Each structure stands twice: as C-alpha cells, then as structure tokens.
Amino acid sequence: MSILVLGGAGYIGSHTVYELIDEGMEVVIADNLETGYAAAVHPKAKFYQGDIRNREFIDSVFDNEKIEAVIHFAANSLVGESMTNPLKYYDNNMCGTKVLLESMVAHGIDKIVFSSTAATYGEPESIPILETDNTKPTNTYGETKLSMEKMFYWVSRAHGLRYVSLRYFNACGAHVSGQIGEAHNPETHLIPLILKVPNGQRENITIFGDDYDTKDGTCVRDYIHVTDLAQAHILAVKYLMNGGASDIFNLGNGVGFTVKEVIETARKVTGHPIPAVTVERRAGDPAKLIASSEKAVKVLGWKPQFADLEKIIESAWKWHSTHPNGYNK
Ligand code: UDP
C-alpha cells in the first residue's frame, strides 16, 4: 500500500515525501508542475504528472495504485494573488478538492491529511491562537482553505471518510541535506527574500511597516521548519491509520519573532550586513500570529525539532546559497 502525495513536487509536499521515504513508506506523487518542480520529486517516489481537477487523471491514479491514504498539498497559496485573482483560487483549491473527493469516495479511499493554514483565522482575537478560535479569513486564499476544510467535514459525515486538517503558521527552512528547499516564483516570503541580499540578488530587504503594536514595531510571526511540518503529516497519517477521528490541528512553534529579529538572525547566519529599508505596511497583515500547537503535541505526539530560529535560517541559507535560482539552473 502507498501514500498518495498530491502536490508532492512543491515546497512542503517535497519535504514530506523525503520524510515518508526515510520512514520506509511507499510513495506515489501526483503534481501538475504548475508551481512544483520535477527536480523536487524524490527519485524513489512514483510520479504522475497531472491535475486533480481532471477526474479521469485522478481516477487513473487510484485505479493503478493501491492507495492507503492521501496527503493533499495541491493548491495555490499566494495571499496577494488570491486577492487579485480570486477565481483562480476557487477553481484550483476548491474545484480541485471537490473532484478529488468524488474520486476518493468512488474508490473507497477514506483517509486524507490536508494542508490548511493560519490564514483561516484572519485577524486573531487572542494569542496564542487555538483551533477552537473563530475563523474569519481576511483573504481569498484563507477563505478557500476554510471552505475546503468544511467540504471535508460534510463529505466525512456523508461517506465515512476521515480527515486531518493541519493549519500551518509560517513554513520556512529547507531539508538538512540541502537537496530540496523553498522555490516560489514570484517569491513573497520573508526569509527567502532576506537571503536574496547576501546572494547578491537584492540591494536590501524591505520591512513592511514598523508602527505595529509589537516590541519593535514590526510584525510577529510563528516560524515553523518545513521538516517539522513534514513530520506532523506523517504522524497525522499514522493517527488516521490507527482509527483516529477527523480533527483539525495548528502547527507552529508557539514562539513569535519580529521581522527585525528575523533579519538580525539572518545577518548573524550569513555574516552579511543585509541593509533593511522600512516601507508602508502590507495590506491585510495582522500584527501578531502565534500558534498554540498543544493539541498536535498531545494528540499526534508531535515534537518540533527546529524551534531555534538560527537553525531554521541556517538550513534555508544552505539551500539558497547553493541554489540562488531555486531549481532553475
Ligand atoms: N515581510 C516584510 N518584508 C518582505 C516580506 C514579508 O516585512 O519583503 C513581513 C510581512 O509583512 C509579515 C512577515 O514578514 O509580517 C512574514 O511575511 P511572509 O510573507 O513571509 O508570511 P505571511 O505571514 O504573510 O504568511
């Protein structure tokens, strides 16, 4: 029996595949390579190129392979783009998941782990954020992820499927081997953008606002290493295999760092002065996002290994300094 990883050529998907294979599991990947990279596909995984919105394609994967459980990363994930092109997000994220669920139900596949996001909460009402807090997304990306969670809920009630939804905070870092890492185009995330400065690809990093109500005025985020996220997916698959009930879990370190602290740590790791320029706030950025992941620790037995920001940035730098253009030569 295999685990099917949808979006297994993307950032978090590829890191999860590496961990699954390290644990001796059989892995099948399906990815349309729209934002994923063939070079990120683990050589020991079986790879199908195709789109989950295509029912014939996803049916053929389930027909050809013995799939025990699905891990679903196949979605668009850029907050800014989701605001200028919302229908792209409804189409890929929601319609894709609808077709996937139809095919899973038809094939009697009843376990799925799903990549969700802190963006489902919107502006937090209290810190740290708990799974039981209100969900009021402030962007289309978060809205589609929340709708996908609800789709799983109603389908699980009707068809007996079980799901785990994992709400990530700020995914970052790269595989310790330096073989795979973060490669978005365009890049919008803080750590890879900072590392473009010591890589000679940017003059400086821009800080989006320093007048927030935080200790140094810049936004606070909960940075969580991609390998820790990957481990949580494996624990969630095992939880479902052992009969665990459908549930939702936050995944973060429970510690917040300001934008200025992240830049300072990158200076220390890279030995580069990394000039920073403060500009206007970015629309839709909450001042502070910090997770409570106690539930994942208690129920799934999750133990993040990379709580230290310096270690996280060291792993990211190992990747970016050797792959300044990501997977493109
Ligand atoms: N940020 C910044 N400059 C940049 C990119 C991001 O100051 O060039 C800030 C952003 O406002 C947020 C934090 O860094 O407070 C993390 O942003 P990112 O886009 O990495 O993740 P998000 O929190 O939006 O998911």
- DSSP per residue, 163-212: EEEEEE-EEE---TTSSS----SS---HHHHHHTTTTTS-S-EEEE-S-S
Q: What is the 261 CA–ligand 1 centroid distance (Å)?
A: 13
Hey, whose CA ends up nearest to atom 4 of ligand 1? 190
Helix extents (H) in the chain: 11-22, 55-64, 79-84, 86-89, 96-107, 140-159, 190-195, 226-241, 259-270, 294-295, 309-322
Ligand 1 nearest-atom number relative to CA 191: 20
CA-based R_g, the chain, Å: 19
Burial (CB count <10 Å: 0-12, 13-18, 19+), residue 158:
exposed
Q: What is the 113 CA–ligand 1 centroid distance (Å)?
A: 26
Q: What is the 123 CA–ligand 1 centroid distance (Å)?
A: 15
Q: What is the pLDDT of residue 175?
A: 97
User: For 154-162, what is the mean pLDDT?
Assistant: 97
In the predicted model, is pLDDT for residue 329 greater than 80? no
Q: What is the 189 CA–ligand 1 centroid distance (Å)?
A: 6
User: Cα separation of 8 and 5, whole Å?
Assistant: 5
Whether residue 164 contacts residue 250, with contact meaning beta carbons closer than 8 Å, is answered with no
Residue at token pair 């990363």: 73
Per-residue pLDDT tens digits for 32-69: 999 999 999 999 999 999 999 999 999 999 999 999 99
Does the predicted model carry a pTM greater than 0.85? yes
Ligand 1 nearest-atom number relative to CA 259: 14
Whether residue 101 contacts residue 70, with contact meaning beta carbons closer than 8 Å, is answered with no
Hey, whose CA ends up nearest to atom 19 of ligand 1? 189
Residue 153's Cβ-side half-sphere holds a number of Cα atoms within 13 Å equal to 9
Q: What is the 190 CA–ligand 1 centroid distance (Å)?
A: 5
Q: Which of 129, 184, 226, 259 should be mutated for ligand 1, with most atoms under 8 A from CB?
A: 259
Ligand 1 nearest-atom number relative to CA 119: 25
- Residue 65: strand, helix, or coil: coil
Ligand 1 nearest-atom number relative to CA 169: 25
Hey, whose CA ends up nearest to atom 6 of ligand 1? 190
Q: Which helix (H) or strand (E) holds 280?
A: none
CA-CA distances (angstroms) from residue 316 to 177, 247, 266? 11, 31, 10
Per-residue pLDDT tens digits for 223-277: 999 999 999 999 999 999 999 999 999 999 999 999 999 999 999 999 999 999 9
CA-CA distances (angstroms) from residue 34 to 37, 98, 141, 173? 8, 19, 17, 22
Pocket of ligand 1 (CB under 6 A): 79, 170, 188-190, 193, 205-208, 219, 221, 259, 282, 285
Question: DSSP per residue over 121-135, as a string?
Answer: T-S-SSSSB-TTS--
What is the DSSP pairing of strand 2-6 with strand 223-225? unpaired
Split at pLDDT 50, 70, 90, the class of 104 is: very high
* Most distant CA atoms of the chain, gap in Å: 57
Q: What is the pLDDT of residue 52?
A: 97
Ligand 1 nearest-atom number relative to CA 220: 15
Q: What is the pLDDT of residue 185?
A: 85
Q: What is the 242 CA–ligand 1 centroid distance (Å)?
A: 38
Per-residue pLDDT tens digits for 175-210: 999 999 999 888 999 999 999 999 999 999 999 999
Cβ within 8 Å of residue 81, ≥6 positions away: 88, 89
Q: Which residue out of 18, 89, 141, 212 is catalytically annotated? A: 141
Residue at token pair 């790269």: 174
Axis crossing angle, helix 11-22 with helix 226-241, rounded to the nearest 10? 60
Hey, whose CA ends up nearest to atom 16 of ligand 1? 190
Check if 163 is active-site.
no
